């Protein structure tokens, strides 16, 4: 492959794998099962309505009624989103009496959401 520089001169571009130091000491790509789970997480995070819901849960745990009110959405739609997010292990629940409270599963998910939203705030 050749690239042109500012002076329109062509130079060879290429490398040999041994010339690179890896930031991670992994020589093989991630396992297909792990990549499949991660892809499911990214698909779930890729929906605007689900991401808005998760941005609320990133602040604190909430019940479905509170989420519905905050999002100004209907209960069946919010419940469906929560079901999908539970299936991808993005949110988990805690029961207190008749109420079920939803929260982000762990800090990995919280960091993904925070980083995604922070990146979205960056100017073009």
The helix-helix angle for 64-71 and 48-57 (nearest 10°) equals 120
pTM of the model: 0.75
**Per-residue model confidence (pLDDT) at position 3:** 53
Do 70 and 53 form a contact (C-beta atoms < 8 A)? Answer: no
Q: Which CATH class is domain 49-117?
A: mainly alpha
Looking at residue 29, its pLDDT comes to 82
Q: Find out whether 54 and 45 touch, Cβ atoms under 8 Å.
A: yes
pLDDT digits (tens, 9 = 90+) for 42-75: 999 999 999 999 999 999 999 999 999 999 999 9
């Amino acid at each position: 492959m050749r690239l042109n520089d500012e002076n329109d001169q062509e130079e060879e571009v290429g490398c040999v794998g041994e010339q690179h130091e890896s930031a991670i000491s992994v020589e093989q790509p991630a396992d297909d099962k792990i990549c499949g789970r991660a892809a499911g997480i990214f698909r779930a995070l890729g929906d605007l309505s689900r991401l808005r819901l998760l941005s609320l849960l990133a602040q604190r745990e909430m019940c479905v009624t509170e989420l519905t009110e905050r999002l100004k959405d209907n209960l069946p739609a919010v419940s469906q989103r929560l079901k999908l997010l539970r299936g991808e292990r993005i949110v988990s629940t805690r029961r207190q009496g008749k109420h079920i409270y939803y929260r982000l599963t762990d800090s990995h998910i919280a960091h993904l959401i925070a980083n995604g939203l922070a990146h979205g705030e960056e100017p073009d």
